[in-house]
Chain A
Amino acid sequence: MPEVEIRKFATVVEEVFHEGGPRATTPLRRAAVIAVIRNPFAGRYVADIQPFMEDLKPLGLTMANRLVDLLGGDPSVVEGYGKGAIVGAAGEVEHGALWHAPGGYAMREVLGDAMAIVPSTKKVGGVGTRLDVPITHINASYVRSHFDAMELGLNDAPRADEMALMLVMTTGPRVHHRAGGLAADQITGKDGLR
């Protein structure tokens, strides 16, 4: 199978102290990692693309571990996550779908027993394209305080024959969350939803 060729990594950590309201005692932290890789299927139609998911697994684990490190090294501080992909213009959106399994399972593995599906989005785009990566609670998708998103992109990626693969982790709810709904301390089931 094609080896994963990495051109670039980028990481970002945000600390949000407030958004016009009371200053948070513990700031919300949001971390993201982007890997810019060559798209082995760019420029032509390839029917069988699934083996590449296996090739992406080590990259997924590397990226998930980097996020935990960026947040201080303790996976238990992570409360939200998300993932996304931008496929360069010589590829197709289906190539981005290859990131679902390796990206999602890597984070769930690194975080222990995270139960909720990892929210995701993907699109085809050129250099400078931004992607709004959705974020939800790691154990219960309906926890309203943790619905969030992080806008990510790179001025020089993805080139036509590349993909930008993204993972995001956060340490808590929106800084001034007050829209009600299921609260994180009310999670009851083990179904990943509530």
Chain B
Amino acid sequence: MSAEIRKLAVWVEETHAEMGRPIKPATRKAVAVAVIANPFAGRYAEDLSDLIEIGAELGGLLGARCVAALGIEPGQAQSYGKAAMVGEGGELEHAAAILHPKLGAPLRAAVEKGAALVPSSKKMGGPGQVLDVPLGHKDAAYVRSHFDGIEVRLNDAPRAGEIMVAVAVTDSGRPLPRVGGLTHAEAEGKDGLR
């Protein structure tokens, strides 16, 4: 089963200055969102494999949209994250089915490598509600400068029978990182942690 997409949105933020200090090059974050029909809205389904396949489709689609919106080569992506918000006719487990079993592999293909766990969040919600997508370094989860997040919200989604699925990708860390820890330059990116 493929995703029945009602709407796609791609949001890009660039931070050129903070606290009066210029940031060159600007830090940039992209988040791509798909609003899809929830095939299991309003009923209990034991087998969620349709949503698992939809997750695989959206991981590739939304990851590629982020990379395109940033105008970068896949290998220039530095951090990523994923999240889903399920409309009131569904259940939280629907978000888990989309996000966890199969979304990661095609997302990693879209950003090259991706040794690290893709940080995630999920919730139930309605139109206009905020979904915070966590961000972490894509190859080394301990890179401290890249722990971040990005907020998405659409005033008209998710409706009761819908799910909002978001993938975020950056080409940079926080604007003025200075809390130490492992850096992007130091990361080996072999075990996904350091």
Contacts and interface: CB of A to CB of B under 8 A. Distances in A.
Interface residues of B, number: 21
Contact of A7 (B6, B9, B11, B16): B16
A14 B6 CA distance: 11
A13 B10 CA distance: 5
B6 A12 contact: no
28 contacts: A7-B16, A7-B17, A8-B14, A9-B16, A10-B11, A10-B12, A10-B13, A11-B11, A11-B69, A12-B10, A13-B9, A13-B10, A13-B69, A14-B7, A14-B8, A14-B9, A15-B7, A16-B7, A17-B6, A17-B7, A18-B6, A19-B6, A19-B156, A20-B6, A130-B155, A151-B128, A151-B155, A154-B13
Contacts of B17: 5-8
A130 B99 CA distance: 29
A155 interface: yes
Given A151-B155, A155-B151, A9 B13 contact: yes
Interface of B: 5-18, 26, 69, 128, 130, 151, 155-156
Interface of A: 5-20, 130, 151, 154-155
Main secondary structure of the interface of B (DSSP, over half): strand
Given A11-B11, A12-B12, A154-B13, 13 more contacts: A5-B17, A8-B15, A8-B16, A9-B13, A10-B12, A10-B14, A13-B9, A13-B69, A14-B7, A15-B8, A15-B9, A19-B156, A151-B155
B127 to A, nearest CB: 10
Nearest to B128: A151
Contacts of B13: 8-10, 154
Contacts of A154: 13
Nearest to A8: B15
Contacts of B10: 12-13
B29 to A, nearest CB: 9
